[in-house]
């Protein structure tokens, strides 16, 4: 791909502007699955951005109050970056969306279309660093994923009527200010869920999950992509799976319901099933294909398959490409690389892998976006995946990547 082509992809005009809102959070903190380390960030404590659901006849908190709660630090302004958001459905009916009600008011306004998901130009993004977005983020990346702040256990850890938004608020605001694509991670997972969700029943489960999704989408209406279900069985399963439909390893009704509810809450977002090992292992890839096709047969709105690719560095590029292409071919859906990193202290080896794999990711038409999982040395989930020193000095892989992308 020529430099001019890459430049064009990263300067497409914005059709739908990101709205305002925002906060800070950090490490992956994942506790489920065979590959996890004790790098967990369990829910707990309090947050300055904690809000409570208003009563049915009481006013929601004002937008200004909600935003103010999330302004924990000023962020240096940077030149606006084009996100390349395009209208996928020419018949979508965009509506003005001012303040919305819900949990503690909204930290976001702007347009909220009703005609289907919006396409997003191919991106290369990253996550927050030690619970906040660094001022240099917009220099390197044009897409953002919250590492922990968007997980249900971070937002509603205190109870079903209490929401803690400040971390997400500041992150969303930064993305708004810099025209960076905001991707939510995640709605449902078998880890880092509020402790009270383990007691949900078929009477209370659907309402609780729908309330979580709708409250998020009302507050952040311009979220572009959402990991609706993260690491499905056999990797992880939420304690409340049977309470929201059940069907694990058969009809997958709980996942079907999750995608339908997510689409109802965020009709303009691209909805993703996110998993690990599906790019590296053919049997995992096929298992995810089977789940996705069950969802499609049931009429569930799903727009993409996420491949975390944490262990891609230990897998032949040809194997990665074969599995990714098989997923896309068998489901008819695009693939997103969602949590990519290269865990080696050897600069030359990290550079070699980055050149080989990132080039394949970027030129593969089945892959519509790439998110790296951390970039600052000493502040990443795995010890040696960092690409930039605290002072801005780049490792060779980062120098090459920025040159390749024309950034």
Positions annotated as catalytic residues are 231, 339
Beta bridge partners of 370: 124, 337
CA trace torsion 121, 95, 144, 313 (10° rounding): -50
- The pLDDT of residue 24 is 31
- The pLDDT of residue 388 is 98
Q: Is the pLDDT of residue 7 over 60?
A: no
Q: How far apart, in whole angstroms, are the C-alpha atoms of residue 143 and residue 197? A: 31
Please write the tens of the pLDDT for every residue from 188-247.
999 999 999 999 999 999 999 999 999 999 999 999 999 999 999 999 999 999 999 999
Contact 313, 325 (CB under 8 A): no
Q: How far apart, in whole angstroms, are the C-alpha atoms of residue 241 and residue 205? A: 9
Please write the tens of the pLDDT for every residue from 362-391.
999 999 999 999 999 999 999 999 999 999
Please write the tens of the pLDDT for every residue from 111-155.
223 345 678 999 999 999 988 999 999 999 999 999 999 999 999
- The pLDDT of residue 208 is 98
Q: Which domains are present in the chain?
A: 3-405 (3.20.20.80)
Peptide bond into 234 cis (omega under 30): yes
Q: How far apart, in whole angstroms, are the C-alpha atoms of residue 95 and residue 45? A: 38
Query: Nearest-CA neighbor of 296 among 340, 326, 265, 252?
Result: 252
What does 318-338 look like in DSSP terms, one character per residue? Answer: HHHHHHHHHHHHHHS--EEEE
Banded model confidence at residue 5, pLDDT cuts 50, 70, 90: very low
Please write the tens of the pLDDT for every residue from 297-312.
999 999 999 999 999 9
What does 177-193 look like in DSSP terms, one character per residue? Answer: HTTPEEEEEEEEESSS-
The region that residue 356 occupies, defined by phi over 0 for left and psi between -120 and 50 for alpha, beta otherwise, is alpha
pTM above 0.85, yes or no: no
| Element housing 270 (H / E) | strand 270-275
- The pLDDT of residue 119 is 84
């Amino acid at each position: 791909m020529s430099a001019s082509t890459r430049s064009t992809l990263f300067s497409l005009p914005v059709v739908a502007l990101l709205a305002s809102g925002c906060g800070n959070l950090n490490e992956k903190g994942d506790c489920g699955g065979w590959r996890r380390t004790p790098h967990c960030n369990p829910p707990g404590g309090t947050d300055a951005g904690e809000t409570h659901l208003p009563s049915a006849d009481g006013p929601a908190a004002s937008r200004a109050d909600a935003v103010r709660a999330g302004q924990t630090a000023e962020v240096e302004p940077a030149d606006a970056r084009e996100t390349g958001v395009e209208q996928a459905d020419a018949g979508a009916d965009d509506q003005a969306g001012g303040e919305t009600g819900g949990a503690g008011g909204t930290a976001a306004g702007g347009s909220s279309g009703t005609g289907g998901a919006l396409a997003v130009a191919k991106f290369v993004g990253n996550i927050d660093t030690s619970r906040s977005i660094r001022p240099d983020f917009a220099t390197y990346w044009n897409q953002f994923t919250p590492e922990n702040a968007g997980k249900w256990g971070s937002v509603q850890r205190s109870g079903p009527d209490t929401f803690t938004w400040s971390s997400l608020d500041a992150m969303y605001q930064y993305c708004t200010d810099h025209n960076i694509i905001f991707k939510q991670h995640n709605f449902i997972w078998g880890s880092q869920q509020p402790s009270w969700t383990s007691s949900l029943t078929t009477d209370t489960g659907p309402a609780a999950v729908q309330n979580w999704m709708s409250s998020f989408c009302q507050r952040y209406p311009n979220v572009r992509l959402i990991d609706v279900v993260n690491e499905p069985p056999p990797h992880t399963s939420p304690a409340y799976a049977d309470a929201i439909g059940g069907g694990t390893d058969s009809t997958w009704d709980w996942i079907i319901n999750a995608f339908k509810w997510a689409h109802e809450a965020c009709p303009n977002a691209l909805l993703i099933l996110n998993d690990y090992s599906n790019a590296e292992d053919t049997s995992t890839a096929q298992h995810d294909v089977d789940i996705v096709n069950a969802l499609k047969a049931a009429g569930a709105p799903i727009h993409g398959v996420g491949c975390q690719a944490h262990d891609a560095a230990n897998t032949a590029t040809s194997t990665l490409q074969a599995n990714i292409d098989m997923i896309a071919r068998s489901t008819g859906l695009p693939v997103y690389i969602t949590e990519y990193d290269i865990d080696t202290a050897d600069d030359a080896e990290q550079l070699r892998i980055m050149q080989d794999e990132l080039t394949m990711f970027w030129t593969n038409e089945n892959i519509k976006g790439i998110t790296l999982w951390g970039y600052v040395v000493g502040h990443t989930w795995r010890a040696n995946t960092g690409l930039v020193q605290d002072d801005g000095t780049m490792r060779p892989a980062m120098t090459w990547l920025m040159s390749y992308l024309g950034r």
